[in-house]
Chains A and B, each alone.
Chain A
Amino acid sequence: MKRFIKDLKKYKNYILYATKAELKTEVINSYLGWLWMILEPLAFMFIYMFIGAVVFKSNVEYYPIFVFIGLSAWNFFNKMVVVSVKLVSTNRDTVTKVYLPKFVLLLVKMGVNLFKMFVSFLLVILFMIFYKVPITWNVLWFFPIILTLIVFTFGVCTFILHFGVFAEDLSNLVNIALRMIFYLTGVFYDLSTRIHNVVYRTILLDLNPIANIIYNLRNVLIYKSGIVGMWTLIWFIVGVLISVLGIKTIYKYENTYVKVMK
């Protein structure tokens, strides 16, 4: 872990610069530029609003914001996992020429997607003002919950990155798993009221960390409530543990990654 902190300091500038450069390029290279960061989640919001409101006749309060919060958090997790699978091989030019701790690549992507999530949540705030959502001190819970999401995502991605180097078709498996988790996470429907069976509800809402995080984000941001249950804390601890294990795994095997890619 000492080495992790030392490397973090050493590569801090690189991570920041690479993050900025990547964001800037994305903006420059697309016709609508930074608008995509807003348009993309907005477009998806309308799709799911249609499905939720018209097809499923959802009666969730503040439904657009409800969906948007879910999407903001989900997109972060989803994009991170997808990009992690092939992260080492997409950076083969760099990793075959110079040594760098491989989690540095992950942190750059974290930076990029965190920024996008940040923009997305700014929109949530605008929506909240627009819909005159009553705001309580409970919104401060937002920060520990987001921290949990970040730590947990990082932990998952360290392992995905590691196995992605060795297993060629891991991306297929990951795509299926992500799609499954997406539908089980209640991004566009309310798990807590749709699922009536207590056992299933516990499994879906508490044992699925992303669902738990999104559920609690909605509670604290638009439903005036505090965090419900202990599960967010548990997932935070789990997140820290897998991050530590993941970093250790990467340190142990990272110098063989290049050999594998030949």
Chain B
Amino acid sequence: MKNKEIAISVNDLHVYYRDMNRFSLKKGFKNKGSGKIFKAVKGVTFEVPKGEILGICGKNGSGKSTLLRAISGIFSPDKGSINLHGNSISLLSIGVGFQKQLTGYENIYLSGMLLGYNKEQIDEKINDIIEFSELGDAINRPVRSYSSGMYSKLAFSITAILETDIMLIDEVLSVGDIHFKEKSYNKMKELISDSNRTVVIVSHSTNTLVDLCDRVIWLHDGLIKKEGKPEKIMAEYEEFMRENA
């Protein structure tokens, strides 16, 4: 893999949460919370070559989601750096977040624009998105009237059809009913099998990771515990989880 182009470089990444947050004026300015620092990610270094599908596993609170959000630019690193080498990126979790009072149709445009598409590009794809989401006429209703299933279907469809160079996937493989679940799983497979696309998947599911990934990183307490072939790592991870349950 040495000769391959690198898509994501993460170098000695630290992300902290400080507990100074959300002080109220009542409590006073001098008391800025306990000042405790919670270190979610403490020094993670890895590179993802272009086209690779990287899985990240780890128990709850091990820093997986934080890591993903840091890569997507929502969190700033407290130390270390992330380089995306100019690739466009989207976090395929439960959508890019909708304006609930607006219609599904309008939200497709807004989400698309946030992902860096212009109006014409979205015009081209909007029918595909609506069709894939199976929402039909509901697309012209405000999103707040959607059921949670409809919501996630639309969210998935937007990020799946409006492709980016790097896709970060946070446990979305279970969206909607069984029928849509299979459909989205297959779409996902299709998307990530594109050799130009770099994918990072966060999941608890051994099947998903073994099935889809080229390599798995096991995150434990904000540090990389192990990395390597999915089958090997996932077997060790499962054993570890059982022992420490």
Q: Footprint of B on A, CB under 8 Å?
A: 10-11, 13-14, 17-18, 21-22, 25, 29, 91-100, 166-170, 172-173, 255-256, 258-262
CA distance A170 to B22 in the complex (A): 11
Pick from A17, A22, A169 the residue with the most CB of B within 10 Å: A17
Within 8 Å by CB of B98, from A93, A168, A255, A256, lies A93
CB of B119 within 8 A of CB of A98, answer no
CA distance A10 to B111 in the complex (A): 14
CB of A98 within 8 A of CB of B110, answer no
Q: A14-B110, A97-B96, A98-B97 are in contact. Are A255 and B118 (CB under 8 A)?
A: no
CB of B74 within 8 A of CB of A95, answer yes
Mark contacts of B14-37 with chain A using CB atoms, 8 A cut-off: 1 yes-contact digit, 0 otherwise: 000110011111100000000000
State whether the Cβ of B93 lies closer than 8 Å to any Cβ in chain A: yes
Within 8 Å by CB of A255, from B76, B91, B106, lies B76
Which B residue sits closest to A259, measured CB to CB? Answer: B17
CA distance A166 to B19 in the complex (A): 11
Task: Supply 4 further A-B pairs (C-beta < 8 A) apart from A255-B76, A259-B17.
Answer: A97-B97, A98-B72, A167-B22, A258-B69
A-B contact count (CB 8 A): 99
Q: Report chain B residues within 8 Å CB of A173.
A: 25
CB of B99 within 8 A of CB of A96, answer no
Q: Footprint of A on B, CB under 8 Å?
A: 17-18, 21-26, 69, 72-76, 90-91, 93-103, 106, 109-111, 113-116, 118-119, 142
Those 6 A-B pairs whose CB atoms lie nearest each other, nearest first: A255-B76, A93-B97, A94-B97, A99-B73, A14-B113, A260-B21
CB of A259 within 8 A of CB of B72, answer no
CA distance A137 to B135 in the complex (A): 56
> Would you give the shortest CB distance from B84 to chain A, in whole angstroms?
11
20 A–B pairs (Cβ distance < 8 Å), ordered by A: A13-B118, A21-B99, A21-B109, A22-B99, A25-B103, A25-B142, A94-B96, A94-B98, A96-B97, A97-B74, A97-B93, A98-B72, A98-B96, A99-B72, A100-B114, A167-B22, A167-B24, A168-B23, A168-B25, A262-B21
Q: Is the interface of A mostly helix, strand, loop or mixed?
A: helix
> Would you give the shortest CB distance from B35 to chain A, in whole angstroms?
14
CB of A168 within 8 A of CB of B91, answer no
> Would you give the shortest CB distance from A100 to chain B, in whole angstroms?
6
Q: Report chain B residues within 8 Å CB of A22.
A: 99, 101-102
CB of A25 within 8 A of CB of B101, answer yes
CA distance A135 to B228 in the complex (A): 79
CB of A21 within 8 A of CB of B21, answer no
CA distance A21 to B21 in the complex (A): 33
Within 8 Å by CB of A95, from B21, B97, B102, lies B97
Pick from B74, B101, B106, B142 the residue with the most CB of A within 10 Å: B74
CB of A255 within 8 A of CB of B75, answer yes
Pick from B72, B76, B90 the residue with the most CB of A within 10 Å: B76
Q: Report chain B residues within 8 Å CB of A14.
A: 110, 113-114
CB of B21 within 8 A of CB of A17, answer no
CB of A259 within 8 A of CB of B21, answer yes
CA distance A13 to B111 in the complex (A): 12
Within 8 Å by CB of A21, from B25, B106, B115, lies B106
CA distance A17 to B119 in the complex (A): 9
Q: Report chain B residues within 8 Å CB of A97.
A: 74, 91, 93-97
Q: Report chain B residues within 8 Å CB of A167.
A: 22-25
CB of B25 within 8 A of CB of A170, answer yes
